[in-house]
A and B are shown apart, each in its own frame.
Chain A
Amino acid sequence: MSSHNEQQETWPEQPPDRKEMSRRQFLTYTLGGATAFMGAGAILPMVRFAVDPILHKKGAGEFIKVAETSKINDQPQEFTFELKQQDGWYASTATLTAWIRKDEAGDIYALSPTCKHLGCTVGWNNDKAYPDEYHCPCHGARYTKLGKNLAVAPKPLDQYKIKIENGWVYLGDVVPNTEVKKEA
């Protein structure tokens, strides 16, 4: 016990100036922390619930039988096909359109008619002033038969992924145009 007393005597009279938290600050942190924890417990599930659509994994689209290869020539032709889609709780069939053509090398490609300007629908040879071009009626965007943008639109027309099997053309997802580059 004597050693204990000695040690006590060696202590300075004032306690060392440690950085101590005041009672008020401790209570502020504790109550604030508990409140934040409870608030987060209530809010986080709701936020995750709300942002769910952007976190859903998008499955790769399937290929759909669209046209017989024997019917495809070097002039773009319009083909429609149906895509089954599940939109939340609502199942529906969307009718899609593709302009399909055989290029000089004999390769078949399919352009999507969605204008790259602001998303209207383009048509082939539908403007007398500009023969043999895709034309968009909304703001006058024009494209070559490869889909190269000539006016208004900032990018060439997108195209469908394509698969040829047993004399039939199958179309898949829409991807950026590669035909224009191929030509150049």
Chain B
Amino acid sequence: MFKNIYNWIDERLDITPIWRDVADHEVPEHVNPAHHFSAFVYCFGGLTFFITVIQILSGMFLTMYYVPDIINAYASVEYLQTKVAFGQIVRGMHHWGASLVIVMMFLHTMRVFFTGSYKAPREMNWVVGMLIFFVMLGLGLTGYLLPWDNKAYFATKVTLEIANSMPVLGPILKELMQGGTIVGAETLTRFFALHVFFLPAVLLILLVGHFIMIRRQGISGPL
């Protein structure tokens, strides 16, 4: 049945070449763990992407219960965590995935570095990768404040003090991130907006660039 539906659509829109471009490509021997087990180091980029997809999905579901407001934020997180079925699991996925994505991304960066894959002609992809790294750190930073508990509050205070210590621009940058003169209601809504709209949008654009470039240039050769 699926085959019939697929054929019906394919006859009209000719979709086979599209997914062939995306999915049908050879995996070179030196990156295939079936040939050389040590080639598992080439999996970290894909794992980072896999966890990113889980972060996006679990994050979307969490916003069904979460409110970015200083009165209700903690109460809503406590409610979804303790009263809603699988709340602990879904929030757990987002919580642990946030750390895991940084770990995987770091391992991926190490692999690219030690295999020299950042060298010509792939310099631009390294730069985009670094931008993704900073966006991910930004997502981690802004997400950390959202439960609005003591840890979140003081971690954000510390972050903003670090920003403040920057010469000349520091105080302006701090107030801009804070959305006012204290860490409070406006900081929370600001961090929420960055966490769920601005940074994910930037991340997706960068990821598309990252993937187009890797497809254009192919995986770097063996050592």
Which residues of A are interface residues toward B (Cβ below 8 A)? 42-43, 45-46, 48-50, 52, 55, 88-90
Chain B residues, CB < 8 A from A49: 61, 64, 80, 84-87, 89-90
Q: Is B93 part of the contact surface with A, judged by Cβ < 8 Å? A: yes
Chain A residues, CB < 8 A from B65: 88
Q: Is B57 part of the contact surface with A, judged by Cβ < 8 Å? A: yes
Closest approach, in angstroms, between the C-beta of A159 and any C-beta of chain B?
32
Of A42, A48, A89, the residue contacting B93 (CB under 8 A) is A42
In the complex, are the beta carbons of B85 and A88 less than 8 A apart? no
5 further A-B pairs in the complex, CB-CB below 8 A; given A45-B93, A89-B76: A43-B57, A45-B90, A52-B84, A52-B87, A89-B78
Closest approach, in angstroms, between the C-beta of B33 and any C-beta of chain A?
15
Chain B residues, CB < 8 A from A45: 86, 89-90, 93
DSSP class of A's interface residues: helix, strand, loop or mixed?
helix
Closest approach, in angstroms, between the C-beta of B203 and any C-beta of chain A?
19
In the complex, which residue of chain B has the Cβ closest to the Cβ of A90? B72
Interface size on B, residues (CB 8 A): 20
Q: Is B152 part of the contact surface with A, judged by Cβ < 8 Å? A: no
Chain B residues, CB < 8 A from A90: 72, 75
Chain A residues, CB < 8 A from B90: 45-46, 49
In the complex, which residue of chain A has the Cβ closest to the Cβ of B75? A89
Q: Is B32 part of the contact surface with A, judged by Cβ < 8 Å? A: no
Q: Which of B72, B84, B93 has the most CB of A within 10 A?
A: B84
**Lowest 6 CB-CB distances: which A-B pairs, in order?**
A89-B75, A89-B79, A45-B86, A45-B89, A46-B61, A49-B86
In the complex, are the beta carbons of A89 and B85 less than 8 A apart? no
Chain B residues, CB < 8 A from A50: 61, 64
- Cα A50 to Cα B59 in complex, Å, equals 12
Closest approach, in angstroms, between the C-beta of B93 and any C-beta of chain A?
7
In the complex, which residue of chain A has the Cβ closest to the Cβ of B78? A89
